[in-house]
Amino acid sequence: MFLELIQRLSAQVPSQCAVCHTWPSRPVCEACVSSFAQPVPRCKTCAIAVPEGIQHCGECVLHPPVLDQCLAAVDYAYPWSRLITEFKFREHTAWASTFATLMRSAPWVEPALEAADVIVPMPLFDLRLQSRGYNQSLELARALAPHKTVHSLLLRITDTPPQSSLSRKDRLRNVQDAFAVDPLKAATLHGKRAVLVDDVMTSGASLHSAANALRSAGAAHITALVFARTA
């Protein structure tokens, strides 16, 4: 509750734009949002950028993912990569409000949130959560739809090595059984529409593994929603 109050107050206080340093400004000024957060065509099931008029990328055509839909607000590039690092690793949790606003402005995000029965943040393993002190995906989910967010529904049951240095095949193997739905709350998902929230999508291995767990628990429709998507 205290954190949510701080985030709301931070959004209302004029500040310097974190990108172009204009003053006074929102955390990211309108000019920088216009320059760096323009919507681009994306694959419907993995959110990677595609040419205009293309519905699905080649990988999703050949290997359809478990996700019914995947949405991203921005590319993982300047200036967002730096701001995500501040949000994720330097305890700047107030970025959740700004990122959530940009996510809501992306095509198809508002309808997905409105149609959702439950918003599910990607969980952290307990030791990583204790080390970091907060789950950035939970902060995003609460900023997007606090009344639909269920933070303990999906569990991270294994602590896996960092994904960054692995090939796509190894990433998929790395997180294959990393997630499970709390059996005491599985009924919450049966026949329901779920939105799975994360900050960054790279290969999609973690999101796909988490989506498999939701599907096995009876979720009827799964949308992945991320702030940034790598190329």
pLDDT tens for each residue of 77-90: 999 999 999 999 99
The verdict on residue 163 lying in a domain is yes
The verdict on residue 14 lying in a domain is no
The verdict on residue 26 lying in a domain is no
Whether residue 79 has a cis bond before it, omega within 30° of 0? yes
Q: Which domain holds residue 161?
A: 40-229
Q: Which of 68-72, 183-187, 218-222 shows the lowest mean pLDDT across its residues?
A: 183-187
- Cβ neighbour number for residue 20 with a 10 Å cutoff: 15
- CATH number for the domain harbouring residue 85: 3.40.50
- Structure confidence at residue 9 (pLDDT): 47
Whats the size of the chain, residue-wise? 231
- State how many domains the chain has: 1
Q: Which residues pair with 11 in a beta bridge?
A: none
The verdict on residue 155 lying in a domain is yes
The verdict on residue 62 lying in a domain is yes
Nearest to 3 by CA among 93, 128, 109: 93
- Tell whether the torsion through CA atoms of 155, 160, 166 and 170 is positive or negative: negative
pLDDT of 182 > 50? The answer is: yes
Nearest to 119 by CA among 189, 48, 45, 199: 189
pLDDT of 230 > 70? The answer is: yes
Give the tokens for residue 167: 């090939």
* 0.75 exceeded by pTM: yes
Per-residue pLDDT, averaged over 93-101, amounts to: 96
Note the pLDDT tens digit of each residue in 37-62. 999 999 999 999 999 999 999 999 99
- Tell whether the torsion through CA atoms of 175, 213, 143 and 131 is positive or negative: negative
The verdict on residue 217 lying in a domain is yes
The verdict on residue 174 lying in a domain is yes
The verdict on residue 22 lying in a domain is no
